[in-house]
Amino acid sequence: MIDDVRLLERVEAGERGAFDDLVEKYHREIYFLALRIVKNEEDAEELTQQTFVKAFSKLDTFRGKSSFKTWLYQVAINGCRSFLRARKQVYELNEEIATGRESSPDPLGKMIKGETALAAAKMIQELPEKQRIIVSLRVFHELSYADIGEAADCSEQTAKVNFHYGIENLRKKLRENGTL
Amino acid sequence: MGRCEKYREQIAELALGALPDGECAEVKAHAAECGACATLLEETMALMATLKSAELPEPRAEFSAGLADRVYGELKKSGAAPGDTNVIPMRRGSGHLKTLSALAAMLLLAVGFLFVMKGMRGGEDPAANLPTDRDFTETEIADEVARMMGSDSIEIVLDGVEVEATVDFNELSLAFVFRDADLGDEDMEWLEAGLAGSDENYTDDFDVFFDNITEEEAREILEGLENSGTEQTAVPRGVS
C-alpha cells in the first residue's frame, strides 16, 4: 500500500487520483469517529465531508509532526466539538422556546443491534465528552496514547489517565446493570 | 495493594490486546495469585469484548461513492482544490495566535484597515465614514469574537469593500479575505504600514486572501507583506 506521504505529495502536485485514494482510505474511520461523537448518521456524514474539505483546504498547515491520519482525526474531532457546541446552543434555545418538549431521541438505539452491545454503546455515550472521545480512539480506532494526545489536543499522560477513568466508569456501569 | 495498582493499567492494555507478550505473562502470573486482579482482568476482558461487539452501521453506499467528488467540488468552488494554479503559498508563519484577545485585536485591525482605507480614499476622517448601522466599537468587536465561538467566520461589509475574517478557534488561526477592494497606492502603503505596525503587538500567524482584485494590486500587497517582517501566509485567490 502506498504510504500517505507519497499520496500527499501527489495530491499537492494536483493529482486527483491520489486525492480520491486518501478520501477512500480514511472516510470510514472518520465517519465512525464522527458518529460516535455526534450520535447521528446524517450529521456524521456532513461532518465527515467537512473534515476532508477542511483538511485539504488547509493542507499547507500540516507540518508532518504527526501522521496524516492523526492530523485528520484532529480536524474531525475539532469539527465535531464545534458542531456539538453549536447544537447545544440551538438545543437550549429550542428548549426555551418550547418548554416541555420531549428530550432528544435515542438515535444510537436504532443503529446498534444486540442488547449487550447496545448497553455498552449507551454507556460510552454517557461518559464525559473527553473520556468518550479518548476511549473511542483507543478501543475502536486503536490509536496510541501519543496519537490520541495529538488528535484530542491533550498530553499523552492526560489521554492515558482519561482512558483508564473511562474504562473504570464503564466497568462500574456494566457491573451495576448486571451485564458483568 | 501497591503491587495491584501497578497492574491496573496493564490489565486494560492486556484486555485491549495492546500489551507486549512479556508483560502479558507477568500480569497473568500476578492475576493467578491475586483474586481481586483476576476478577478485574475477567471483567475488563468482558467489557472490551462487549465494546467491540457494538459495531456501528457502515456509511451509506451513496454517501461513500460520491464523497471524493463532493469534497473536491467544494474545494474547487473556494479555489482551494489541491494543485489549483491560482493558489500561491508565499510564506508560512512559524507560530500561532495565542489568545482570544489577540484574535479580537486582529479583527479590530481588519476593520481598522477598512476604516482608514475609506477615509484615505475620501480624504475624510475615517470615523465620519462609519456606517450608522455597522458602527463597530472595540467592545462590539470583542463581543463579536466571543459570539463567533460557535462558528468560524464573520463577514464585514463596509460600503462595498468586503472583508471576511475566518477564525479557527481550534487551531487559533485567522484568515482575512479582502474582496472587491479597489485599492489605490495610498491604500497599499497604509495596508503595508498597518501590517508592519501590528507585528510587534499581536501578529504571529495569519492568512490573507484577496478576491476579485487585480493581479497588480495583489502583487503589491504581497510584496508589502513580505517586506513588513510579519509572519503571515499570503495567498492570492481568485485574482483577476
Q: Does B39 touch chain A (CB under 8 A)?
A: no
Asked if B150's CB is within 8 angstroms of A89's CB, the reply is: yes
Element (H, E) at A56: helix A41-57
Asked if A164's CB is within 8 angstroms of B12's CB, the reply is: yes
Report whether A179 contacts A137 (CB < 8 A): no
Q: How far apart are CA A178 and CA A159, in angstroms?
A: 28
Asked if B56's CB is within 8 angstroms of A111's CB, the reply is: yes
Q: pLDDT (tens digit, 9 = 90+) per residue, B127-144?
A: 343 333 444 444 454 454
d(CA B134, nearest CA chain A) in Å: 25
Residue B210 CB coordination number (10 Å):
25
The answer, yes or no, to whether residue B170 has pLDDT greater than 90, is: no
Copy the grid coordinates of residue B176: 482575512
Question: Could you tell me which residue, A102 or B45, shows the higher pLDDT?
Answer: B45
Element (H, E) at B164: strand B161-168
Average pLDDT (B10-19) is 91
Q: Does A157 touch chain B (CB under 8 A)?
A: no
* Residue from A42, A57, A150 to probe the interface with B (highest B Cβ count within 10 Å): A57
Burial B66-85 (b: 16+ CB within 10 A, else e): ebbeebbebbeeebbbbeee
Copy the grid coordinates of residue B42: 475477567
Q: pLDDT (tens digit, 9 = 90+) per residue, B19-31?
A: 988 899 999 999 9
Least confident of A1-15, A162-176, B219-233: B219-233
> What is the per-residue pLDDT for A12?
85
ipTM of the complex: 0.80
Taking contacts as CB-CB distances below 8 angstroms, the residues of chain A near B51 are 120, 124, 139-140, 170
Burial B165-195 (b: 16+ CB within 10 A, else e): bbbbbbbbbbbbbbbebebeeebbebbbebb
- Cα distances (angstroms) measured from residue B163 to each of B111, B112, B125, B167: 8, 11, 20, 13
The answer, yes or no, to whether residue A84 has pLDDT greater than 90, is: no
